[in-house]
Chain A
Amino acid sequence: MGIATRIAIVAVIAILIAAGVMMAMRPGMMPRALTVPNPTTQTINRGEYLARAGDCVACHTAPDGKDFAGGRPMPTPFGNLYVPNITPDEETGMGRWTADEFYRMMHTGISRDGTLLYPAMPFASYTKVTREDSDAIYAYLMSVPPVRQKNRPHELRFPYNKRDLLIGWRALYFKEGEYVPDPIQSAEWNRGAYLVQGLGHCAMCHTAINALGGSRESQAFEGGMIPNQNWYAPSLTSNREAGLGEWSIKDISDILQVGVSNRGAVYGPMAEVVYNSLQYLSDSDVAAMAVYLKALPVGDAGPAIPSSARLVAPNVMETGRKIYEKQCAVCHGAEGLGRPPVYPPLANNQSITMLSPVNSIRTVLNGGYPPGTKKNMRPHGMPPFSHILNDDEVSAVVTYIRVAWNNTGTPVTPAQANELRKLLPE
């Protein structure tokens, strides 16, 4: 073998090796071990997930504003609150907060400077969040782009603008403490309870709020009107409302995460919760919430309620039926069976038959689209009828769907329809 040949062979081998090394170093070809995120990245990712579960963005972002920069007005029966900037801006946000201070705020409702927070911040729920999870959320919030935007002062009426009053409120309605797992229950149930009671802060709407803006633990998840939103948040403990005792785990998971299910769809404020928060939760976390929620109902005492159809004046029933056949049956079916999960059934739908008719009336007036979620990007929607049906017609058709097909709802009056119509702008 000549020297030239040898050099050529060595050169070829060298080139092949170099090419091999280059191949191996292309982006995406590096060994897996090197691409595992460092602990900080992992914590921030987990914090982002938990911040989704807590739906921080929904309140702390103004419409068309920058994420977490606050400024969103939150109307309350006591005046307007303006949600603060929680971006890590040093001057106007939480840039100078420590993880300890953040945990104290989440756990006790006391801000960095010692002021007591108004309970519009769901610290009565967030108190159940573990220190580890609080730290992860803190790490995530510190990692988002800081936005310089001064907080707007609250506009609460006297005497609610006196924060000292909160001492009394806290004594009545606030119980501090992280979630304590129930050893009798499964790990899945406990995970669900932790999410529902803690970050999910479901009680903020699904437990009645009294005149002092408080809610009693003894009435937990028993439902109530949502102040200033004019939607009724149904009871999660009654199978006659939004109690899920008779639902399959899949249907519960679907309505939480997908936004539609074989039993019904979310609308109103719950659509916002699914859109901003629940659609991002893992299948296993959603299933855990479903297991916990399904176990919640305490059962409904008393015999089954008969249909009140015979109590409705025949002419009202006939008006309702005619409107239903013309406007509603194409989607919800002549017998109210719907086309689930696309169009919800109205027969045997707790959302229709529950005691408060507010949501049904509003849905007829306003229509609505379920949220577009990762698992249902292109939801079907319902048109508004407020400009087509007068108060008599709205109340007739809502009465019809509440009592037809052995539904156990009660009739509604034109005055109820009129009251909700007046609340709707334009």
Chain B
Amino acid sequence: MKGALFVAVCSVFSGAVAQDESVPSFKTLDSMEARVQGCVTCHGQSGQGTKNGYFPRIAGKPSGYLYNQLIAFREGTRRYAPMNYLVAYLPDTYLREIAEHFAKQRPAFAANESSAADAATLSRGETIARRGDAGIGLPPCMSCHGTGLTGMEPGIPGLVGLRSSYIVAQLTRWRVGERHAAEPDCMKRVATRLSETDVAAVALWLAQQTPPKDASPESSNVVRMPLACGSQR
């Protein structure tokens, strides 16, 4: 445990991300590392994300969350054509294994994206993330995604290390009803309370946050969640 923590700490501070994190490579043919090479040009060798495009970091997200997404991509209930195509004919057991593989990874975080956001925007973003907005019945992001924004077992993803373009896209899809989670869909209730400006503000602020030393998701049921979430059942 101490060893793992040490490695995690070192990798966070090492800063430099391998140059070719998105080029296929593996050591052993009969390994999960080789099997997930289909993911690496977008999500990086360890799921850390890549500089290219807005592909999210998937490393260290709870395996339950990753599994739900893989199933949703396969069934077409979450729509993103390149993902729908890749996992269309993969069985549950294998998708579970892929999810567990990436959930275990703790690669270094990329440097935060530079942002030209003004102070007022960032301040509004921080308010939403830390305290929510009681006036519109909006709970804070941190009440479910964790004070370190590393997510919560088994089904709530970490937000730290995501780019603002990805967060904006996902919140927007939720607002317009294109993205769903298991009912009761708590994220739908959250996203539909956010204005477009709020979406942009919270995304910009989240993308600026430094990951905690231990980026593991919080364990479930430590805190009471403000909204009922189907993905936590």
Contact = CB atoms under 8 A, between A and B. Distances in A.
Interface of A: 63-64, 271-272, 274-275, 326-327, 330-331, 339, 342, 366-372, 377-388, 424-426
A380 B76 contact: no
Interface in B60-104: 75-77, 80-82, 85-91, 93-94, 97
A371 B89 contact: yes
B77 A64 contact: yes
A384 B80 CA distance: 13
A387 B23 contact: no
Nearest to A380: B35
A315 B22 CA distance: 25
Contacts of B35: 378-381
A377 B53 CA distance: 31
Given A64-B76, A366-B82, A330 B90 contact: no
Nearest to A378: B94
23 contacts: A272-B88, A275-B89, A327-B23, A330-B24, A331-B24, A366-B86, A367-B38, A369-B87, A370-B89, A371-B89, A372-B89, A377-B91, A377-B93, A379-B35, A380-B37, A380-B38, A382-B38, A383-B41, A384-B42, A386-B82, A387-B41, A388-B41, A425-B81
Contacts of A386: 82
A162 to B, nearest CB: 32
A384 B86 contact: yes
Contacts of A378: 35, 94, 97
B29 interface: yes
B86 A387 contact: no
Interface string B33-57: 0111111111000000000110000
B26 interface: yes
**Max chain A Cβ within 10 angstroms of own Cβ: one of B42, B80, B89:** B89
A372 B23 contact: no
Interface in B4-45: 22-26, 29, 34-42
A342 B40 CA distance: 18
Contacts of B37: 331, 380-383
A63 B29 CA distance: 33
Contacts of B42: 383-384, 387
Contact of A388 (B22, B77, B80, B81): B22
Given A327-B23, A381-B86, A388-B52, A64 B75 contact: yes
B25 A330 contact: yes
A331 B27 CA distance: 11
